[in-house]
Copies of this chain bind each other. A is one copy, B any other.
Amino acid sequence: MHVNARKHFAIPPDERVRLAEIDPGDTGSFTAEADAHQATHDALAAIADLQYRLYAEHRHALLIVLQAMDAGGKDGTIRHVFGALSPLSAYAHAFKEPTPEEAAHDFLWRVHKVTPGHGEIAIFNRSHYEDVLVVRVHDLVPEKVWSKRYARINAFEKTLVRGNTTILKFFLHISRDEQLRRFAQRLDDPAHQWKISESDYTERAYWDDYMRAYEAVLEKTSTARAPWYVIPADRKWFRNWAVAQIVAETLRTIDPKTRAPSVDIEEIRAKYHEVERSEHGA
């Protein structure tokens, strides 16, 4: 599969999106899962190498936003794709229900605090988008409040981009049936029963409302500078390939260069020879 994955999965700015028309079971032009594994492996190796160059250059930041319905594969993507990153300069941050302190601030306050610095890669497990998703679906704030947040989000992300942050936003797109299959698997797997929550089935009743809320997000906040990618995610191996491929392409485009030394190398070299002579004799 030699497509430009970024172009293939990106939502163009201002485009009306109908998620029902995007097949969550899509596996692109892969005919065998094994082919995807090799391609994913290659992309992950490239990512690991480029992470170190990004860190060493200390000039660009990379922010990756992961959103999905429950059981959509956010944790799995972080383990299997972003597991290729070293904690040296990468971290994941999971956004939960706001604490009282967080709720006492504007909705972007807790988000801004954990954005990546130069040289760093941050992965957001959920994000500020929950404030126009769960908040909208359950009327947690009035429409006149949440409806103005799309513009606030775009302005916020523009600030980050101006600070040399590249932003990638992934919606891991699973089907309603696949969610139920994954819930069933969790019921039968003692190692994953802890992930089951009371809200799994009550939230499922709002599936269509969530789809509409996601469509609004994609339409209003997929910008040239901070695009959304809709990733067919029913097949975990295809999801992993697509995310890895887009991250690798993005890092290659950033193309981090070797950081210039902060000292005069010839001066230091002279110092080195002096030390060597004095310690080991001429």
Q: Which residues does A use to contact B, with CB under 8 Å?
A: 48, 52, 56, 58, 75, 78-79, 82-83, 85-92, 121, 123, 176, 180, 183-184, 187, 190-191, 193-194, 196-198, 200-201, 204, 258-263, 265, 268-269, 271-272, 275-276, 279
Contact = CB atoms under 8 A, between A and B. Distances in A.
Contacts of A272: 180, 183-184, 187, 201
Given A258-B190, A258-B191, A269-B187, A198 B263 contact: yes
- Complex copy number for this chain: 2
A235 to B, nearest CB: 21
Contact of A86 (B78, B201, B204): B78
Residue from A56, A180, A187, A269 with most neighbouring chain B CB atoms (10 Å): A187
12 contacts: A56-B191, A83-B86, A87-B121, A184-B272, A187-B268, A187-B269, A193-B258, A193-B260, A193-B265, A196-B262, A196-B268, A201-B275
Given A78-B87, A82-B88, A86-B83, A180 B56 contact: no
A183 B265 CA distance: 11
A169 B36 CA distance: 40
Nearest to A86: B83
Given A56-B191, A194-B261, A201-B271, 15 more contacts: A78-B87, A78-B88, A82-B87, A87-B90, A91-B91, A180-B272, A180-B279, A187-B272, A190-B258, A194-B260, A194-B262, A196-B263, A198-B268, A201-B268, A201-B272
Contact of A52 (B79, B90, B187): B79
A180 B275 contact: yes
A260 to B, nearest CB: 7
A37 to B, nearest CB: 17
Contacts of A276: 180, 184
Contacts of A269: 187
Nearest to A121: B87
A247 B68 CA distance: 33
Contacts of A193: 258, 260-261, 265
